[in-house]
Amino acid sequence: MLMLRIEERFPGSGLRSVAEELHHISEDAMVRAEQIRRPDWRLRTGIALLLVVIFSVLIEVVSSLEFHRNIFQVDQFMQLVDSSLASMVLIGAAIAFLITLEVRLKRGRALKAIRELRSLAHIVDMHQLTKDPERVSGRCPPTISSPKRVMPLYELGRYLDYCSELLSLIGKIGALYVQDFPDTVALEAVNQLSTLTNALSRNIWQKIIILESMLDPASASAARMAPNGALGFSAPAQSVHSPDEQSPSH
């Protein structure tokens, strides 16, 4: 597991806590995705009963109406049409609200889970933000207010690699929530999450290229031409535009 690898390499680090939080989220992801996918029969039954009541009342009202000859007069007819249209609009809005209630509830659950992943992705970015290869190498003299950097170059490479893996897992977990829930709003939120994690991963990839040039200039030149870096970093994938994703390994 990634959390154990980070703990063994960087015991007690903040990145380990982030990995642990992601591990808990990934354990709950399958359950939450199943809740989003599974039909809510109790809600559907309640909605069906309400619709039956609404249509029964409408039928009863229509059957109890008494039509007179003066209904065909212009003023009487316009009043009838106006009141009927207003009632139909209200009833139609109520029916539409009930029919789409389940989808909106599931969408809210999916968006809440995706927001949690977005927050976690920004936390990962904060952890790698100060991990600058040039400053660690001593090329850039620190100031009095500069944070202490005691991490060797090799460990810095592993740290950045772990950040990249965390971001990749965050994007994969997000895709689980729309795997069997093809809602347009939720799918767009997952694509935005994937775009965010890919952009953050590209920033890390640039740091790894700089780090490789310090460790081995010859391999760094080859790494710029290859899709994968010598330190094991894979370039971020493109955004996913369909909900068919595989479950991430924990």
CA neighbor of 36 nearest in space, from 183, 244, 242: 183
Non-local CB neighbours of 35 within 8 Å, separated by 6+ positions: 109
The separation between the first and the last C-alpha atoms of the chain, rounded to the nearest angstrom, is 6
Q: How confident is the model at residue 166 (pLDDT cuts 50, 70, 90)?
A: very high
Q: What crossing angle do the helices spanning 153-176 and 2-9 adopt, rounded to 10°?
A: 160
Q: What is the DSSP letter of 233?
A: P
Is residue 240 within 8 Å of 194, Cβ to Cβ? yes
Lowest mean pLDDT among 144-153, 161-170, 204-213, 224-233: 224-233
pLDDT of residue 245: 44
CA neighbor of 37 nearest in space, from 250, 243, 190, 192: 243
Q: How confident is the model at residue 239 (pLDDT cuts 50, 70, 90)?
A: very low
CA separation for the pair 82, 75 (Å, rounded): 11
Domains of the chain: which residue ranges? 2-38+101-225, 41-99
pLDDT tens per residue, range 11-69: 888 888 999 999 999 888 888 888 888 888 888 788 888 888 877 777 766 666 555 55
* Its pTM surpasses 0.75: no
Q: Which one is the CATH code of 2-38+101-225: 1.20.1050, 1.25.40, 3.30.70, 1.10.3470?
A: 1.20.1050
Is residue 160 within 8 Å of 221, Cβ to Cβ? no
